[in-house]
Amino acid sequence: MKAKKTFLFSFLCLAFLGLFSCNNRKNNVLPIYNPTDFKSELVDKNLRNKSKNHTVSDFELINQNGQIITQDIYKDKIYVADFFFTTCGTICPIMTNNMRKIQEEFINDNDIMLLSLSVLPETDNVAVLKEYAKTKGVINGKWNVTTGDKKHIYELARQSYFAVVKQGDRQQDFIHTPNFILIDKEKQIRGIYDGTKDEDIKRIIEDIHILKN
């Protein structure tokens, strides 16, 4: 029942965001998303009334090769971010396969990068991520699969990317969404997509081309 409620919540969030962006995409102009454009459940309570000038916060993570990954590596890049964990057996394998499709589409484009953040950093250590990246076809330098401080990761999820639902009072009471988040070179959110759906993967690839142009 909990899984069904989570799926329904994610579906409604994405439907709302799809309607919001439809008119702009027709004119080949992508919207700029702010906290007020998201369902409040996805947003840290201190940001729920913010309606403009939202940008993704600086971050410090550790990738599959044990390297420190910061915002500087993504400076002047368009990138797609998502939240996952390696032992997830439901939506995560689909999301990872679809992220790889985006990687393949832009394999020779140095302006496009990918960023995956584990929501279970206590178990997804560097060794685990390295094996996961190897089996999933992650290309080093193109796609960083990351771990790090749990508090920092959840702050990014709730205050920057709006991709995790808080369900209780404990730190571990979070459920990640299937969202892929498109970030432009100015660190602004330009699109939200269901990472489990083929039609949304086609749409995000189209939107990346729009941003580049």
Chain segment 78-129, per-residue pLDDT in tens: 999 999 999 999 999 999 999 999 999 999 999 999 999 999 999 999 999 9
The 10 Å CB-count burial string (b at 16+, else e) for 13-32 is bbeebbeebeeebeeeebbb
Query: No. of H helices and E strands in the chain?
Result: 5, 9
Q: Give the dihedral sign, CA 33/37/42/47.
A: positive
> Is the pLDDT at 2 greater than 50, yes or no?
no
The span from the CA of 120 to the CA of 118, in Å, is 5
Q: Which of 88, 85, 151 is nearest to 124 (CA)?
A: 85
The CATH number for 2-212, chosen from 3.30.70.260, 3.40.30.10, 1.20.120.420, 1.10.3720.10, is 3.40.30.10
Per-residue model confidence (pLDDT) at position 75: 97
Q: Enumerate the domain spans of the chain.
A: 2-212
At residue 166, the pLDDT reads 77
* pLDDT tens profile 35-84: 999 999 999 999 999 999 999 999 999 999 999 999 999 999 999 999 99
The whole-model pTM stands at 0.87
Please report the pLDDT score of residue 170 as a whole number.
57
Q: In this model, does residue 14 exceed pLDDT 60?
A: no
In the chain, % of residues over pLDDT 70: 84
